[in-house]
């Protein structure tokens, strides 16, 4: 099998909602067009930032279909497909229509807190049945389990596993994976604030939250970092760093929806149990949006 490598800037798309929390498809169109015009390399649909946990199956289907239609094959689309019930996830993959989908992003099982052997078995099952390449997603802050570098490297040799979105915040772990030098396997940043440092040690891109609002600036930073244009990359990194901190100060995607609202791209409506950012954070985000745009 030829491995499909997705590098550069991917965007973890939000799901915009109307005031009644129904999906705002026109705003979704606007955001997809905004990030593509901004120069990002690929889209990620139904990841954590999309509030996928609050969407029912029909809504997930509608969101994916709308993104694929609006994208119109301009850039690759990655679909979030993860879970903590391995057999249920395998069944979902077998029944998913992958037309127009380039890869899946699959998070480590949450809540169950599996051992490393369990993670190996889980992801090997996923990769065996998926008709498209698999991007692993390690985010212990959300799942309460860290996929260690050794486990990632064991999975990296699977012919259908192409990369890992590393959001552990552990640079030593990131470097251990990069140093493993597995052919046709890449590390992607899962933390906007650490993207430039991760690029410096060998990562090949990012799946970004801030790029929903600032795709042009963030993707330029990533390209500069990947091309060793260090001064330009550093300037863009520090230009965005305070905004990135603010976006996560009251949780994701509450922060990024506030920024998108300031840009006129969508409302800052979330679905419970998530709520909007505090007024003081919202004011700071608005000031940063005015400064950056």
Q: Which amino acids are annotated catalytic?
A: 137, 165
CA 277 → CA 28, 250, 256, distances in Å? 21, 5, 10
Query: Do residues 164 and 173 lie in contact, with contact meaning Cβ atoms separated by under 8 Å?
Result: no
Q: Which residues sit opposite 208 in a β-bridge?
A: 11
Segments in the chain forming alpha helices (H): 25-37, 57-71, 86-95, 116-129, 140-143, 149-156, 171-179, 195-200, 215-226, 230-249, 254-262, 279-292
Report the 10 Å Cβ neighbour count for 114. Answer: 19
Structure tokens at 113: 């807190």
Q: Which residues sit opposite 281 in a β-bridge?
A: none
Query: Do residues 222 and 195 lie in contact, with contact meaning Cβ atoms separated by under 8 Å?
Result: yes
**Integer Cα distance of 157 and 176 in angstroms:** 15
Length of the chain: 293
CA 242 → CA 11, 38, 197, 238, 247, distances in Å? 19, 20, 16, 7, 9
* Angle of helix 230-249 versus helix 215-226 axis, rounded to 10: 140
- Choose among 259, 217, 257, 224: nearest CA to 240: 217
Structure tokens at 126: 């996923």
**Integer Cα distance of 141 and 150 in angstroms:** 19
């Amino acid at each position: 099998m030829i491995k499909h490598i997705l590098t550069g800037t991917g965007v973890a798309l939000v799901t915009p909602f109307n005031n009644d929390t129904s999906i705002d498809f026109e705003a979704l169109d606007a955001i997809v067009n905004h990030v593509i015009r901004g120069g990002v390399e690929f889209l990620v649909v139904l990841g954590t930032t999309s509030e996928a946990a609050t969407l029912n199956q029909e809504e997930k289907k509608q969101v994916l279909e709308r993104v694929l239609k609006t994208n119109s094959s301009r850039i690759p689309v990655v679909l979030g497909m993860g879970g903590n019930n391995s057999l249920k996830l395998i069944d979902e993959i077998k029944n998913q229509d992958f037309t127009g989908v380039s890869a899946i992003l699959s998070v480590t099982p949450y809540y169950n807190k599996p051992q490393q052997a369990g993670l190996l078995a889980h992801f090997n099952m996923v990769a065996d049945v998926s008709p498209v390449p698999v991007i692993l997603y390690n985010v212990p802050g959300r799942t309460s389990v860290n996929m260690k570098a050794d486990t990632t490297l064991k999975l990296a040799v699977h012919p259908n596993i192409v990369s890992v979105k590393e959001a552990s915040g552990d640079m030593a772990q990131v470097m251990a994976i990069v140093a493993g030098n597995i052919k046709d396997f890449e590390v992607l940043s899962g933390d906007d604030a650490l993207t430039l440092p991760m690029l410096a040690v060998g990562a090949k891109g990012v799946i970004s939250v801030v790029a929903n609002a600032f795709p042009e600036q963030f993707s330029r930073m990533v390209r500069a970092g990947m091309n060793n244009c260090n001064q330009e990359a550093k300037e863009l990194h520090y230009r965005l760093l305070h905004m990135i901190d603010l976006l996560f100060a009251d949780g994701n995607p509450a922060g990024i929806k506030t920024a998108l609202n300031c840009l006129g791209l969508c409302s800052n409506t979330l679905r419970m149990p998530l709520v909007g950012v505090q007024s003081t954070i919202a004011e700071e985000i608005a000031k940063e949006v005015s400064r950056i745009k």
